[in-house]
Structure 1
Amino acid sequence: MRIEHTADHEILITSPTSSRSGQRNFRLNLQLGKWWEQHQALGEAFDSNTGFPLPDSFVLSPDASWVSAAKWDALTMAQQDKFAPVCPEFVVELKSASDSIKTLQAKMLDWLRNGAQLAWLLVPKTKTAYIYRPGQPEAEVVEGFDTALPGETVLPGFRLERRELR
């Protein structure tokens, strides 16, 4: 089980993912990992088991994330060994059948409020991607999984091939 908590210390418990969701999450992390192998100097990538204590007291765990080298290297080794007190610049949430879309959309806004620069909510069932950026009142909605999502300036050169997440 994954346990997160809100700023009000409300405990959020998520059951383990289904086989298909686990398969998709693996493929998502594999793509991010391949990009990271070529761009290690830019920062660190993390999987869904990583919890981040955020400035507003939330502790959240995205399905995949990336923290810049500047933020990561500013942490002490002791901070890196525990729940690193840093908000990833890039986060991805992959909706599974048991997830609530409204809860995940709210979570994406929590990430932005705490410092994320690019946040993706991917919904395989409807083949929809919601792209969140700071300062934008609403998420950009991208339909269909036939096109890749670019990492923009946050992850230069990264392109998520969504068709691999079907």
Structure 2
Amino acid sequence: MFSSPLVIELPSSMQMTDEQFFEFCQVNRDLRIERNQFGQISIMPPTVSETGNREFNILGQLWFWSEKDGTGICFSSSAGFTLSTGAERSPDAAWIKLERWNNLSPAQKQGFAPICPDFVIELRSPSDNLPTLKNKMAEYMREPGIQLGLLIDRQQRQVYLYRPGQPEECLDHPDTVSCEPVLTGFVLHMSKVW
């Protein structure tokens, strides 16, 4: 087992198409795989148990709010999305407005949907490099459709808020994080995340 992402670079003559990358991920479904816009493939280590519990708590809060709100749908870290740059990303939690999701074809929904979520959360695990995660959040913020992103750093008890066209905002030791106005009424309670 490795403790940080394994990055695989393929020669330009061996770059995978989107369909081939999707098939590669399906054949290796027990691995957490992403691909950046340059074709580099990252294989992430499994989430440690404690981080998995915190991620589940975040997903539970988002799902509960989403079910009551009814204007969009949630996704776990198992869902992949193809960004406009060609990168395939799997945020730890995501939410997409129904109107945007419903504009995709059934075939697009069956693969790594060609859409960037409206809202993404990345939870830093002990093996994650903070600058790398910040770059990933900046990548999301350049995408059409994204409205808000949270990067949660449990080690430092900080939450970084990302909004398109705005500088990152850092909250130190927050008890709650409001996701207004993008997710009306959604407040992430941090007690079980910390």
TM range (shorter): over 0.9
Indicate yes or no: 2:86 matched with 1:46.
Answer: no
Indicate yes or no: 2:46 matched with 1:16.
Answer: yes
Which one of 64, 72, 96 corresponds to residue 93 of structure 2? Answer: 64
Which one of 104, 107, 115 corresponds to residue 133 of structure 2? Answer: 104
CA contact (8 A) 1:62 1:92 kept: yes
Moved over 2 A (4+): none
| Structure with more relative contact order (C-alpha pairs < 8 Å, separation 6 or more) | 1
Which runs of 5 or more residues in structure 1 are unaligned? none
Indicate yes or no: 2:190 matched with 1:159.
Answer: no
CA contact (8 A) 1:62 1:93 kept: yes
Rounded Cα–Cα distance in structure 2 between residues aligned with 1:155 and 1:164: 20
Q: Which residue of 2 aligns with 1:125?
A: 155
> What is the Cα-based RMSD across aligned positions, in Å?
0.9
Instruction: Give CA-to-partner distance per residue, 1:18-49, whole Å, 9 cap, x none.
Output: 01100000000000010011012x11110011
Instruction: Give CA-to-partner distance per residue, 1:110-148, whole Å, 9 cap, x none.
Output: 111113110000011111000000111x210000042x1
Structure 2-normalised TM-score? 0.82
Rounded Cα–Cα distance in structure 1 between residues aligned with 2:130 and 2:49: 19
Instruction: Give CA-to-partner distance per residue, 1:46-93, whole Å, 9 cap, x none.
Output: 001110000011100000000111110101112112211110010000
Paired residue type of 2:44: T
Rounded Cα–Cα distance in structure 2 between residues aligned with 1:150 and 1:49: 25
Rounded Cα–Cα distance in structure 2 between residues aligned with 1:80 and 1:153: 27
CA contact (8 A) 1:93 1:122 kept: yes
Which runs of 5 or more residues in structure 2 are unaligned? 1-30
Q: Which residue of 2 aligns with 1:149?
A: 177
Structure 1-normalised TM-score? 0.95
Q: Percent identity?
A: 39
Paired residue type of 1:90: F
